[in-house]
Amino acid sequence: MAGENQIPLYKYLTGHPNKDIAGKVEWNFQKYLIGRDGTVLAKFGTKTMPDDPKVMDAVEKALTAKKP
């Protein structure tokens, strides 16, 4: 939900300090990758399929990161 009644997660993601993650949610199926420590690692557009090599590589990298 946009506007003044945004839920905290939506507000955090759309206002994220990293310009590659921040910005309006374009449509359903936009994807965010969250690290083990709760850090937002990446954002993928609605047309990016979950098995896209970019997504798979990012997930593999996140899974091999040190546990907090």
Number of domains in the chain: 1
Q: What was the pLDDT predicted at 4?
A: 79
**DSSP secondary-structure letter at 2?**
-
Q: What was the pLDDT predicted at 62?
A: 95
The token pair that represents 21 in the structure block: 């993650």
Report the candidate in 46, 42, 53 with the shortest Cα–Cα distance to residue 30: 46
Which domain range does residue 23 map to? 8-64
Q: Tell whether 1 is covered by a domain.
A: no
Per-residue pLDDT of the chain in tens (68 residues, 90 and over written 9) = 667 788 898 889 999 999 999 998 888 889 999 999 999 999 999 999 999 999 999 999 999 988 87
Q: Tell whether 59 is covered by a domain.
A: yes
Q: What was the pLDDT predicted at 50?
A: 94
Q: What was the pLDDT predicted at 1?
A: 62
Q: What was the pLDDT predicted at 41?
A: 96
